Homo-oligomer: A and B are copies of this chain.
Amino acid sequence: MTTRERTWSIAELAAEFEVTHRTLRHYEELGLIAPERRGTTRVFSKRDRTRLALILRGRRLGFPLEEIRRIVDMYDDQPGRVGQLRYLLGQISDRRADLEARRRDIEDSLAELAELERRCETDLATLRGNRAVPARSQDTPSRTSV
């Protein structure tokens, strides 16, 4: 007899991932997850958990749910024929380009944050030394970050 796989209720999954029931149902409506049913009640499998983790990471990165679905589905597509595989490889390359652009944005932001921090530290040191803080140019946020 096959080892009974662990399952989760909607409440358990919601608590674990810190989302609401509504969110999980919403994701089901959009086809992002497809929990089984025991009667009318949703039963979440390990697979659903995995997908949910992916979905939430996509969400943290600011992707729209529609796009997230396409991406998550990439991993489940049984790569039947060569055409499918080629298509998948194309998708992968697209997504990689996107992610790398985001990473550049983040790196830039972090660099500028560091720069701003450095300036703050020196200003602070100057103030501690009771010397006047040099007024910095206001019209050009010399190098900023987001």
- Determine the residue in chain B with the shortest Cβ distance to A58: B146
Given A74-B116, A116-B74, A133 contacting B50 (CB threshold 8 A): no
The complex places the Cα of A139 from the Cα of B51 at a distance, in Å, of 10
The complex places the Cα of A74 from the Cα of B117 at a distance, in Å, of 11
> How many copies of this chain?
2
Given A88-B120, A99-B113, A116-B75, A51 contacting B145 (CB threshold 8 A): no
Of the candidates B54, B79, B127, B133, which one forms a contact with A145 in the assembled complex, judged by CB atoms under 8 Å apart?
B54
Residue A46 interfacial (CB < 8 Å): yes
The complex places the Cα of A103 from the Cα of B76 at a distance, in Å, of 25
A interface, by DSSP: helix, strand, loop or mixed? helix
Q: Of residues 94 to 139 in A, which have CB atoms within 8 Å of B's CB atoms?
A: 95-96, 99-103, 105-110, 113, 116-117, 120-121, 123-124, 127-128, 133, 135-136, 138-139
Question: Contact: A57 with B103, CB < 8 Å?
Answer: no
Question: Contact: A133 with B79, CB < 8 Å?
Answer: yes
Sample 28 A-B pairs with CB under 8 A, ordered by A number: A45-B139, A47-B141, A50-B140, A50-B144, A54-B144, A57-B109, A58-B146, A60-B102, A61-B146, A68-B146, A71-B146, A75-B116, A75-B141, A75-B145, A78-B136, A82-B127, A85-B127, A86-B124, A88-B120, A89-B121, A92-B116, A95-B145, A99-B113, A100-B110, A102-B106, A103-B103, A103-B110, A106-B106
